[in-house]
Amino acid sequence: MGIPQQGMARDDVFTALDSFKEGDVRWREGNAFTLAYNAGADVVAVAEEAYRRFATENGLNTDAFPSLKRIQNDVVGIVGDWLQAGPDGAGFLTTGGTESLLMAVKASRERGRKERNVQQPNVVLPTTAHAAFEKGCYYFGLESRRIPVGTDWRADPDAMAAAIDDNTVLVVGSAPQYPQGVVDPIADIAALAAERDINCHVDACMGGVTLTYLARLGHDIPAWNFQVPGVTSISVDLHKFGYTAKGASVIMHRNKRLRAYQTFVTDNWLGGLYGSSAVLGTKSGGPWAAAWAVMHYLGDEGYLRLTAAARDACERLAAAIDAIPELALRAQPEATLLAFGAADPEQLDVFAVADALWRRGWYVDRQGPPASLHCTVNAVHQHRIDDFVADLRASIAEVEAASAQGQQGAYGTVD
Protein backbone atom coordinates (compact mmCIF):
# COMPACT_ATOMS: atom_id res chain seq x y z
CA MET A 1 0.00 0.00 0.00
CA GLY A 2 1.39 3.38 -1.01
CA ILE A 3 0.72 6.83 0.35
CA PRO A 4 -2.64 8.23 -0.80
CA GLN A 5 -2.57 10.80 -3.59
CA GLN A 6 -4.72 13.13 -1.52
CA GLY A 7 -4.54 13.39 2.25
CA MET A 8 -7.31 11.69 4.22
CA ALA A 9 -9.75 13.60 6.38
CA ARG A 10 -8.82 13.66 10.06
CA ASP A 11 -11.85 11.60 11.11
CA ASP A 12 -11.17 9.06 8.39
CA VAL A 13 -7.59 8.64 9.60
CA PHE A 14 -8.71 7.76 13.11
CA THR A 15 -11.57 5.58 11.90
CA ALA A 16 -9.05 3.54 9.91
CA LEU A 17 -6.68 3.25 12.86
CA ASP A 18 -9.50 2.13 15.13
CA SER A 19 -10.46 -0.53 12.61
CA PHE A 20 -6.92 -1.92 12.68
CA LYS A 21 -7.35 -2.71 16.39
CA GLU A 22 -10.49 -4.79 16.03
CA GLY A 23 -8.59 -8.08 16.26
CA ASP A 24 -6.34 -7.03 19.16
CA VAL A 25 -6.64 -8.54 22.62
CA ARG A 26 -8.88 -6.48 24.93
CA TRP A 27 -6.17 -5.62 27.44
CA ARG A 28 -8.07 -2.72 28.97
CA GLU A 29 -10.71 -5.24 30.05
CA GLY A 30 -8.13 -7.57 31.58
CA ASN A 31 -8.08 -10.19 28.81
CA ALA A 32 -4.29 -10.09 28.38
CA PHE A 33 -2.01 -11.84 30.86
CA THR A 34 1.05 -10.38 29.13
CA LEU A 35 2.38 -7.33 27.26
CA ALA A 36 0.00 -4.68 28.67
CA TYR A 37 -0.81 -3.49 32.19
CA ASN A 38 -3.82 -1.57 33.45
CA ALA A 39 -4.34 0.13 36.79
CA GLY A 40 -7.69 1.62 35.78
CA ALA A 41 -9.15 3.98 33.20
CA ASP A 42 -8.15 7.03 35.24
CA VAL A 43 -4.50 5.99 35.36
CA VAL A 44 -4.45 5.22 31.63
CA ALA A 45 -5.97 8.64 30.93
CA VAL A 46 -3.31 10.40 33.02
CA ALA A 47 -0.55 8.52 31.20
CA GLU A 48 -1.99 9.22 27.76
CA GLU A 49 -2.46 12.93 28.40
CA ALA A 50 1.03 13.37 29.83
CA TYR A 51 2.44 11.42 26.87
CA ARG A 52 0.57 13.68 24.44
CA ARG A 53 1.95 16.84 26.03
CA PHE A 54 5.58 15.70 25.70
CA ALA A 55 5.38 13.35 22.70
CA THR A 56 7.58 15.48 20.42
CA GLU A 57 10.04 16.81 23.01
CA ASN A 58 13.42 15.13 22.54
CA GLY A 59 15.41 13.56 25.36
CA LEU A 60 18.56 13.42 23.22
CA ASN A 61 19.65 16.81 24.58
CA THR A 62 18.15 17.96 27.84
CA ASP A 63 19.95 21.31 27.58
CA ALA A 64 17.29 22.20 25.02
CA PHE A 65 14.56 20.53 27.08
CA PRO A 66 15.35 21.13 30.75
CA SER A 67 11.84 19.90 31.54
CA LEU A 68 12.93 16.40 30.51
CA LYS A 69 16.06 16.62 32.64
CA ARG A 70 13.86 17.46 35.62
CA ILE A 71 11.46 14.63 34.77
CA GLN A 72 14.22 12.05 34.36
CA ASN A 73 15.91 13.09 37.61
CA ASP A 74 12.63 12.90 39.51
CA VAL A 75 11.66 9.50 38.11
CA VAL A 76 15.09 7.98 38.60
CA GLY A 77 15.18 9.39 42.12
CA ILE A 78 11.92 7.68 43.04
CA VAL A 79 13.13 4.37 41.62
CA GLY A 80 16.39 4.78 43.52
CA ASP A 81 14.40 5.12 46.73
CA TRP A 82 12.44 1.95 45.88
CA LEU A 83 15.71 0.10 45.30
CA GLN A 84 17.38 1.54 48.41
CA ALA A 85 20.20 2.87 46.26
CA GLY A 86 21.19 5.56 48.72
CA PRO A 87 22.67 8.98 47.88
CA ASP A 88 25.28 7.56 45.50
CA GLY A 89 22.84 5.73 43.22
CA ALA A 90 22.74 6.92 39.61
CA GLY A 91 20.65 5.84 36.66
CA PHE A 92 18.94 6.66 33.40
CA LEU A 93 15.56 6.16 31.81
CA THR A 94 15.48 3.73 28.89
CA THR A 95 12.77 2.61 26.49
CA GLY A 96 12.13 -0.71 28.22
CA GLY A 97 13.57 -3.76 29.87
CA THR A 98 15.43 -4.89 26.77
CA GLU A 99 17.33 -1.61 26.47
CA SER A 100 18.06 -1.62 30.21
CA LEU A 101 19.49 -5.14 29.99
CA LEU A 102 21.48 -4.27 26.88
CA MET A 103 23.03 -1.40 28.82
CA ALA A 104 23.87 -3.68 31.74
CA VAL A 105 25.77 -5.95 29.35
CA LYS A 106 27.49 -3.05 27.60
CA ALA A 107 28.53 -1.43 30.89
CA SER A 108 30.05 -4.68 32.13
CA ARG A 109 32.02 -5.13 28.92
CA GLU A 110 33.40 -1.59 29.13
CA ARG A 111 34.37 -1.96 32.77
CA GLY A 112 36.12 -5.24 32.04
CA ARG A 113 38.06 -3.66 29.17
CA LYS A 114 39.13 -0.54 31.00
CA GLU A 115 39.84 -1.95 34.46
CA ARG A 116 41.19 -5.44 33.62
CA ASN A 117 41.89 -5.35 29.87
CA VAL A 118 39.44 -8.19 29.25
CA GLN A 119 39.39 -8.84 25.49
CA GLN A 120 37.13 -11.91 25.36
CA PRO A 121 34.45 -11.12 27.92
CA ASN A 122 31.76 -13.53 29.06
CA VAL A 123 28.55 -13.33 31.06
CA VAL A 124 27.52 -16.07 33.50
CA LEU A 125 23.77 -16.32 33.88
CA PRO A 126 21.06 -18.92 34.59
CA THR A 127 18.97 -20.43 31.82
CA THR A 128 15.98 -18.52 33.19
CA ALA A 129 17.54 -15.06 32.70
CA HIS A 130 15.74 -12.95 30.12
CA ALA A 131 16.42 -13.36 26.40
CA ALA A 132 17.51 -9.72 26.21
CA PHE A 133 20.79 -10.70 27.89
CA GLU A 134 21.36 -13.04 24.94
CA LYS A 135 20.60 -10.15 22.63
CA GLY A 136 23.08 -7.94 24.48
CA CYS A 137 25.81 -10.56 24.27
CA TYR A 138 25.16 -10.92 20.54
CA TYR A 139 25.14 -7.18 19.90
CA PHE A 140 28.21 -6.34 22.00
CA GLY A 141 30.37 -9.39 21.40
CA LEU A 142 30.30 -11.24 24.72
CA GLU A 143 30.08 -14.98 25.33
CA SER A 144 26.86 -16.08 27.01
CA ARG A 145 27.42 -18.88 29.53
CA ARG A 146 24.00 -20.25 30.41
CA ILE A 147 23.93 -22.34 33.60
CA PRO A 148 21.12 -24.84 34.36
CA VAL A 149 18.85 -23.91 37.25
CA GLY A 150 17.86 -26.10 40.18
CA THR A 151 14.71 -28.17 40.47
CA ASP A 152 13.07 -25.15 42.12
CA TRP A 153 13.83 -23.10 38.94
CA ARG A 154 16.19 -20.79 40.86
CA ALA A 155 19.74 -19.99 39.79
CA ASP A 156 22.41 -22.35 41.10
CA PRO A 157 25.20 -20.16 42.59
CA ASP A 158 27.65 -23.06 42.95
CA ALA A 159 27.29 -23.99 39.29
CA MET A 160 27.60 -20.33 38.32
CA ALA A 161 30.77 -20.03 40.42
CA ALA A 162 32.30 -22.98 38.56
CA ALA A 163 31.67 -21.22 35.22
CA ILE A 164 33.32 -17.92 36.19
CA ASP A 165 36.86 -17.26 34.99
CA ASP A 166 39.19 -14.30 34.49
CA ASN A 167 37.19 -13.18 31.43
CA THR A 168 33.86 -13.01 33.26
CA VAL A 169 32.62 -9.43 33.44
CA LEU A 170 29.01 -9.95 34.59
CA VAL A 171 26.89 -12.32 36.63
CA VAL A 172 23.10 -12.12 36.51
CA GLY A 173 20.18 -12.83 38.81
CA SER A 174 16.48 -12.09 38.45
CA ALA A 175 13.90 -10.82 40.90
CA PRO A 176 11.76 -12.56 39.87
CA GLN A 177 12.84 -14.51 36.82
CA TYR A 178 10.19 -14.44 34.11
CA PRO A 179 9.53 -18.08 33.15
CA GLN A 180 8.38 -19.46 36.53
CA GLY A 181 8.07 -16.31 38.63
CA VAL A 182 10.52 -17.13 41.45
CA VAL A 183 13.29 -14.95 42.87
CA ASP A 184 16.88 -16.06 42.35
CA PRO A 185 19.25 -16.21 45.37
CA ILE A 186 20.54 -12.70 44.73
CA ALA A 187 22.75 -12.49 47.82
CA ASP A 188 24.68 -15.61 46.80
CA ILE A 189 25.02 -14.50 43.19
CA ALA A 190 26.14 -11.00 44.19
CA ALA A 191 28.74 -12.50 46.53
CA LEU A 192 30.33 -14.17 43.50
CA ALA A 193 30.68 -10.76 41.87
CA ALA A 194 31.92 -9.03 44.99
CA GLU A 195 34.63 -11.65 45.49
CA ARG A 196 36.00 -10.93 42.02
CA ASP A 197 35.09 -7.21 41.82
CA ILE A 198 32.96 -7.66 38.70
CA ASN A 199 29.45 -6.53 37.82
CA CYS A 200 26.29 -8.14 39.16
CA HIS A 201 23.03 -7.11 37.51
CA VAL A 202 19.65 -7.85 39.04
CA ASP A 203 16.90 -8.02 36.44
CA ALA A 204 13.98 -6.62 38.41
CA CYS A 205 12.12 -5.42 35.32
CA MET A 206 9.11 -7.41 36.50
CA GLY A 207 9.64 -7.18 40.25
CA GLY A 208 11.25 -3.85 41.00
CA VAL A 209 7.99 -2.15 41.91
CA THR A 210 6.10 -5.23 43.08
CA LEU A 211 8.73 -6.66 45.44
CA THR A 212 9.29 -3.23 46.97
CA TYR A 213 5.64 -2.90 47.89
CA LEU A 214 5.06 -6.55 48.78
CA ALA A 215 7.74 -6.13 51.44
CA ARG A 216 5.94 -3.04 52.69
CA LEU A 217 2.73 -5.09 52.82
CA GLY A 218 4.37 -7.64 55.11
CA HIS A 219 5.31 -10.37 52.65
CA ASP A 220 8.53 -12.28 53.27
CA ILE A 221 10.71 -11.17 50.35
CA PRO A 222 14.27 -12.48 49.91
CA ALA A 223 17.02 -9.85 49.71
CA TRP A 224 17.35 -8.57 46.16
CA ASN A 225 18.09 -4.81 45.93
CA PHE A 226 21.05 -2.52 46.64
CA GLN A 227 21.04 -3.56 50.27
CA VAL A 228 22.77 -6.70 49.00
CA PRO A 229 26.57 -6.20 48.83
CA GLY A 230 27.94 -6.86 45.37
CA VAL A 231 24.86 -5.79 43.39
CA THR A 232 26.12 -3.17 40.93
CA SER A 233 23.01 -2.45 38.84
CA ILE A 234 19.26 -3.13 38.77
CA SER A 235 16.66 -2.69 36.04
CA VAL A 236 13.02 -1.79 36.75
CA ASP A 237 10.32 -1.43 34.10
CA LEU A 238 7.87 1.35 34.88
CA HIS A 239 5.56 0.42 32.00
CA LYS A 240 4.90 -2.91 33.68
CA PHE A 241 3.92 -2.79 37.35
CA GLY A 242 4.53 0.95 37.50
CA TYR A 243 1.49 1.16 35.17
CA THR A 244 3.01 3.94 33.04
CA ALA A 245 2.91 4.21 29.25
CA LYS A 246 5.20 2.21 26.96
CA GLY A 247 8.19 2.50 26.91
CA ALA A 248 9.75 3.47 30.21
CA SER A 249 12.34 1.56 32.19
CA VAL A 250 15.11 2.57 34.57
CA ILE A 251 18.58 1.10 34.89
CA MET A 252 20.05 2.11 38.23
CA HIS A 253 23.74 1.75 39.10
CA ARG A 254 25.26 1.75 42.56
CA ASN A 255 27.20 4.92 41.75
CA LYS A 256 28.09 7.33 38.95
CA ARG A 257 31.45 5.65 38.30
CA LEU A 258 29.68 2.41 37.35
CA ARG A 259 27.01 4.29 35.41
CA ALA A 260 29.70 5.97 33.28
CA TYR A 261 30.49 2.63 31.64
CA GLN A 262 26.98 2.62 30.19
CA THR A 263 27.30 5.89 28.30
CA PHE A 264 28.80 6.67 24.89
CA VAL A 265 30.59 9.92 24.01
CA THR A 266 32.42 10.86 20.81
CA ASP A 267 33.65 13.91 18.92
CA ASN A 268 35.00 11.84 16.00
CA TRP A 269 32.88 13.54 13.35
CA LEU A 270 32.22 17.09 12.13
CA GLY A 271 29.06 17.62 14.14
CA GLY A 272 30.51 18.37 17.58
CA LEU A 273 30.40 16.48 20.85
CA TYR A 274 27.83 13.67 20.87
CA GLY A 275 26.77 11.92 24.05
CA SER A 276 24.19 9.18 24.55
CA SER A 277 23.03 7.51 27.74
CA ALA A 278 21.75 4.32 26.07
CA VAL A 279 21.16 2.74 22.67
CA LEU A 280 18.84 5.38 21.28
CA GLY A 281 19.78 8.95 20.43
CA THR A 282 16.49 10.72 19.88
CA LYS A 283 14.01 9.77 22.60
CA SER A 284 10.43 10.95 22.83
CA GLY A 285 9.64 12.79 26.04
CA GLY A 286 6.21 11.18 26.04
CA PRO A 287 7.07 8.01 28.00
CA TRP A 288 9.15 10.02 30.46
CA ALA A 289 6.33 12.45 31.14
CA ALA A 290 3.80 9.63 31.40
CA ALA A 291 6.00 7.90 33.97
CA TRP A 292 6.36 11.06 36.03
CA ALA A 293 2.62 11.76 35.82
CA VAL A 294 1.46 8.27 36.81
CA MET A 295 3.95 7.95 39.64
CA HIS A 296 2.86 11.27 41.12
CA TYR A 297 -0.83 10.57 40.44
CA LEU A 298 -0.75 7.22 42.22
CA GLY A 299 1.70 8.08 44.97
CA ASP A 300 2.92 5.64 47.59
CA GLU A 301 -0.59 4.67 48.72
CA GLY A 302 -1.67 3.98 45.15
CA TYR A 303 1.18 1.56 44.56
CA LEU A 304 0.48 -0.20 47.84
CA ARG A 305 -3.14 -0.65 46.77
CA LEU A 306 -2.34 -1.84 43.25
CA THR A 307 0.35 -4.24 44.41
CA ALA A 308 -2.01 -5.76 46.97
CA ALA A 309 -4.67 -6.16 44.25
CA ALA A 310 -2.28 -7.81 41.79
CA ARG A 311 -0.87 -10.16 44.41
CA ASP A 312 -4.35 -11.16 45.59
CA ALA A 313 -5.37 -11.92 42.01
CA CYS A 314 -2.20 -13.96 41.46
CA GLU A 315 -2.73 -15.98 44.64
CA ARG A 316 -6.34 -16.72 43.67
CA LEU A 317 -5.29 -17.81 40.19
CA ALA A 318 -2.55 -20.05 41.59
CA ALA A 319 -5.03 -21.66 43.99
CA ALA A 320 -7.53 -22.22 41.16
CA ILE A 321 -4.90 -23.86 38.95
CA ASP A 322 -3.81 -26.05 41.86
CA ALA A 323 -7.41 -27.24 42.09
CA ILE A 324 -7.61 -28.30 38.42
CA PRO A 325 -6.36 -31.91 38.23
CA GLU A 326 -5.28 -31.63 34.59
CA LEU A 327 -2.84 -28.80 35.41
CA ALA A 328 0.30 -28.32 37.49
CA LEU A 329 1.90 -25.08 38.65
CA ARG A 330 5.56 -24.82 37.77
CA ALA A 331 6.19 -23.03 41.09
CA GLN A 332 4.30 -21.12 43.71
CA PRO A 333 4.55 -17.49 42.59
CA GLU A 334 6.72 -15.18 44.69
CA ALA A 335 5.51 -11.98 43.07
CA THR A 336 2.77 -11.68 40.44
CA LEU A 337 3.96 -14.07 37.73
CA LEU A 338 3.01 -17.72 37.41
CA ALA A 339 3.41 -20.55 34.96
CA PHE A 340 1.58 -23.84 34.64
CA GLY A 341 1.61 -26.88 32.42
CA ALA A 342 -0.19 -30.17 31.98
CA ALA A 343 -0.10 -32.61 34.87
CA ASP A 344 0.23 -35.28 32.17
CA PRO A 345 1.63 -33.84 28.89
CA GLU A 346 0.67 -37.04 27.09
CA GLN A 347 -2.99 -36.38 27.86
CA LEU A 348 -3.21 -32.59 27.46
CA ASP A 349 -1.50 -30.16 25.09
CA VAL A 350 -1.36 -26.82 26.91
CA PHE A 351 -0.59 -24.94 23.71
CA ALA A 352 -3.91 -26.20 22.34
CA VAL A 353 -5.46 -24.88 25.58
CA ALA A 354 -3.91 -21.49 24.78
CA ASP A 355 -5.52 -21.66 21.32
CA ALA A 356 -8.90 -22.35 22.91
CA LEU A 357 -8.42 -19.51 25.39
CA TRP A 358 -7.62 -17.14 22.52
CA ARG A 359 -10.84 -18.12 20.77
CA ARG A 360 -12.57 -17.05 23.99
CA GLY A 361 -10.74 -13.72 23.95
CA TRP A 362 -7.84 -14.43 26.36
CA TYR A 363 -4.15 -14.04 25.55
CA VAL A 364 -1.47 -15.85 27.57
CA ASP A 365 2.21 -16.42 26.84
CA ARG A 366 3.41 -19.84 25.70
CA GLN A 367 6.84 -20.95 26.77
CA GLY A 368 9.15 -23.89 27.25
CA PRO A 369 10.78 -26.14 27.90
CA PRO A 370 8.81 -27.55 29.60
CA ALA A 371 5.65 -26.66 27.68
CA SER A 372 3.89 -24.08 29.84
CA LEU A 373 1.45 -21.22 29.81
CA HIS A 374 2.48 -18.04 31.56
CA CYS A 375 0.38 -15.36 33.25
CA THR A 376 1.61 -11.92 34.21
CA VAL A 377 -1.09 -10.93 36.70
CA ASN A 378 -1.63 -7.23 37.29
CA ALA A 379 -4.18 -5.02 39.00
CA VAL A 380 -6.72 -5.17 36.16
CA HIS A 381 -7.15 -8.91 36.79
CA GLN A 382 -8.48 -8.49 40.31
CA HIS A 383 -12.05 -8.85 39.07
CA ARG A 384 -11.37 -11.18 36.12
CA ILE A 385 -9.86 -14.29 37.72
CA ASP A 386 -13.17 -16.14 38.06
CA ASP A 387 -14.03 -15.45 34.40
CA PHE A 388 -10.60 -16.61 33.26
CA VAL A 389 -10.70 -19.79 35.34
CA ALA A 390 -14.14 -20.67 33.99
CA ASP A 391 -12.89 -20.27 30.41
CA LEU A 392 -9.70 -22.17 31.29
CA ARG A 393 -11.76 -25.14 32.47
CA ALA A 394 -13.93 -24.95 29.35
CA SER A 395 -10.84 -24.79 27.14
CA ILE A 396 -9.35 -27.87 28.80
CA ALA A 397 -12.57 -29.78 28.24
CA GLU A 398 -12.66 -28.70 24.60
CA VAL A 399 -9.05 -29.76 23.98
CA GLU A 400 -9.53 -33.11 25.72
CA ALA A 401 -12.68 -33.86 23.73
CA ALA A 402 -10.97 -33.11 20.43
CA SER A 403 -7.49 -34.40 21.36
CA ALA A 404 -6.32 -31.08 19.93
CA GLN A 405 -2.70 -30.08 19.39
CA GLY A 406 -1.27 -26.55 19.48
CA GLN A 407 1.95 -24.74 18.63
CA GLN A 408 4.33 -23.03 21.03
CA GLY A 409 4.18 -19.65 19.32
CA ALA A 410 6.63 -16.94 20.36
CA TYR A 411 7.30 -14.51 23.19
CA GLY A 412 8.25 -11.86 20.60
CA THR A 413 7.95 -11.70 16.83
CA VAL A 414 9.93 -10.32 13.89
CA ASP A 415 7.13 -10.03 11.31
| Residues 9, 270: Cα–Cα separation, whole Å | 43
Q: What is the pLDDT of residue 140?
A: 98
Q: What is the pLDDT of residue 212?
A: 98
Q: What is the pLDDT of residue 301?
A: 98
Contacts (Cβ under 8 Å, ≥6 apart) of 391: 357, 360, 361, 362
| Residues 91, 260: Cα–Cα separation, whole Å | 10
CA distances from 7 to 10, 11, 13, 56 (A): 9, 12, 9, 22
More confident: 391 or 411: 391
Q: What is the pLDDT of residue 185?
A: 98
11-35 pLDDT tens trace = 999 999 999 999 999 999 999 999 9
- The answer regarding whether domain 299-402 maps to CATH 3.90.230.10 reads no
Q: 3-state secondary structure string, the chain?
A: CCCCCCCCCHHHHHHHHHHHHHHCCCHHHCCECCCCCCCCHHHHHHHHHHHHHHCCCECCCCCCCHHHHHHHHHHHHHHHHHCCCCCCCEEEEECCHHHHHHHHHHHHHHHHHHHHCCCCCEEEEECCCCHHHHHHHHHHCCEEEEECCCCCCCCCHHHHHHHCCCCEEEEEEECCCCCCCCCCCHHHHHHHHHHHCCEEEEECCCCHHHHHHHHHCCCCCCCCCCCCCCCCEEEEECCCCCCCCCCCEEEEECCHHHHHCCCEEECCCCCCCEEECCCCCCCECHHHHHHHHHHHHHHHHHHHHHHHHHHHHHHHHHHHHHCCCCEEECCCCCCCEEEEEECCCCCCCHHHHHHHHHHCCCECEEECCCCEEEEECCHHHHHCHHHHHHHHHHHHHHHHHHCCCCCCCCCCCCC
Q: What is the pLDDT of residue 63?
A: 93
Instruction: Give per-residue burial for 232-269: e unless 16+ CB within 10 Å, then b.
Output: bbbbbbbbbbbbbbbbbbbbbbbeeebbebbeeeeeee
> Is the distance from CB of 190 to CB of 160 less than 8 angstroms?
no
328-355 pLDDT tens trace = 999 999 999 999 999 999 999 999 999 9
106-163 pLDDT tens trace = 999 999 999 999 999 999 999 999 999 999 999 999 999 999 999 999 999 999 999 9
47-295 and 299-402, same CATH topology: no
Q: What is the CATH number of domain 47-295?
A: 3.40.640.10
Q: What is the pLDDT of residue 405?
A: 84
> Is the distance from CB of 162 to CB of 235 less than 8 angstroms?
no
* Region at 40 (left for phi over 0; alpha for psi -120 to 50; beta for the rest): left
What is the value of pTM for the model shown? 0.95
Domain boundaries, the chain: 47-295, 299-402
